[in-house]
Structure 1
Amino acid sequence: MSNYQMNENTLILVGCEGNSEKYYMEILLEADKLVFSKTDLFEEEILEKTFNQKLGKYLESSVLTMDFGTRDVHLLLIQDNDVSLKIKALYKEKLNMIVKVITTPEIEMLAIHHFGLFQKYTNQKKSNWRKPSKFLADEFGMKASRIKSKQFIKATFDGDCLVTAIKAYASKNKQKYKGKDDIRLVDILK
């Protein structure tokens, strides 16, 4: 199913836009649902910093200063379509590939599919339209920050139901992305 290509010599850096994306990726990684495993990742984990925590600076100062020998280094960015990560050219040269894994409009669309709320979400009136996290928060009577929390995400999803939600969303979202290397979460599933 994967559109993402790697080999046994690939070292993968996975950077996430925010903590929500990181929690979803951790579930997929732990459940062995991705085309890569922990052993393919830098330090066998998703990068500790997110875009909101200055991921670009972290890569430049702590990761891309290292010698990776002959390994192909791929940076997978789990993000909305409109986010741009800034990395100086000197450090970008160490990356064989930068791939944006797009979660547009928001990664919370996965929870909308999981809870069977896609039709209700798409039927919102334009005058009262809410982004996915706000829609879910209103549906469940909680704050949007709770919908994005590690506790909520990990209590809601295991690997199998998360894969089901990703596939459901991919079947509804046929959007083309800007970059030639842009892919969707479904493209990195086994």
Structure 2
Amino acid sequence: MSGASEYSGVGGALGREELLVRIQGTAPLISGFVSLEDQLQPNGFDLSLAEVGQFAGGGAIGRSNANRTLPEVQPIPFDGSGWLDLRPGPYQIIFNETVALPNSLMALGRPRSSLCRAGATIVTAVWDAGYRGRSTALLLVENLAGIRIERDARLMQLVFLTLNEPTIRGYDGAYQGENLPVERPGQSRRA
């Protein structure tokens, strides 16, 4: 196992042991998780559900970001027991975890197999090297009977891939730092 401080120069996926080193390091790869023991997997890390929203309008994607309009999203509150009953359709979700990718790593998200077996899936974009934030993804409920989902449920596995060499310029797009709370002096976040 190579240490987080070493760089092999060869691209590949990170396994459980290397992920643990990077999570527990001075610049944590992932923070804000619910249960390290449950979420750390042999080939990635399970991201858990923080928020669900329903699209309340249309969007527009133009040739440049100046012509991009994101639809309004209405939050859907969890019931008193922390559950949601979702009908078929698209939903925007936000994860609990903050991911902080160094310029030597990228990530790809895949739905957990249990989510697929329940009749839903997740669509997400590439997580570019240098990205930091609590990402959103598209949850598609395809099961005609709907699905029940609990707050903090593990929905997607993030797989981390090393680049053949670190990129000089990491992600600096519109979603850098998205959904991060405003931290005040003396305020701590859940670990």
TM-score, scaled to structure 2:
0.21
Higher relative contact order (CA 8 A, sep 6+): 1
Specify which structure has the higher proportion of strand: 2
